[in-house]
Amino acid sequence: MSAIFGVFSQRKNKNVFLRIYAGLYALQHRGQEAMGICLIENEKISEIKGRGLVSDNIKHDNKNSIGGYAGIGHVKYEYSDDDITTLPMPWQYYPDGKDQVIIAVDGKFLDDRDVEEIAGVLNGPIEKIPEYILNLKGAYSIIFAKKDMMIAIRDPHGIKPLSMGKVDSEIIFSTETCGITGSDAEVVRDLQPGEIVVVTKDEVKSLRAGNFTATPCVFDFVYTARPDSFINGTSVYRSRIKMGMELFEEAPVEADIVVGSPDSGMISALGFARASGISYEKAIVRNRYIGRTFILPSDEMRKKGVKMKLSPIRSLIDGKRVVLVDDSIVRGNTIKHVIEILKDSGAKEIHVRIASPPVIRSESLTFDVPSPEKLIANGKTVEDIREYIGADSLAYLSLDGLNKACGNGKFYERCFGGYDPFEEGDEDVN
Cβ–Cβ under 8 Å, residues 229 and 176: yes
The conformational region for residue 305 under phi > 0 = left, psi -120 to 50 = alpha, else beta, is: alpha
How many residues are given for the chain?
Answer: 430
Q: How many CB atoms lie within 10 A of CB 20?
A: 28
Nearest one of 89, 66, 76 to 19, comparing CA atoms: 66
How far apart (Å, rounded) are the C-alpha atoms in residues 248 and 22?
38
Backbone angles phi, psi at 100, to 5 degrees: -85, 135
Strand partners of residue 41:
44
Nearest one of 408, 22, 389, 52 to 232, comparing CA atoms: 408
Nearest one of 243, 238, 269, 237 to 352, comparing CA atoms: 269
Question: Between 236-250 and 266-276, two packed helices, what is the crossing angle to 10 degrees?
Answer: 50
The reply to whether 327 sits in an annotated binding site is: yes
Write b or e for each residue in 156-182: b if 16 or more Cβ atoms lie within 10 A of its Cβ, otherwise e.
Answer: bbbbbbbbbbeeeebbbbbbbbbbbbb
How far apart (Å, rounded) are the C-alpha atoms in residues 138 and 414?
13
How far apart (Å, rounded) are the C-alpha atoms in residues 192 and 161?
9
Strands 149-154 and 2-9: unpaired
The reply to whether 46 sits in an annotated binding site is: no
The reply to whether 315 sits in an annotated binding site is: no
The binding site for Mg(2+) comprises: 264, 326-327
The binding site comprises: 264, 326-327
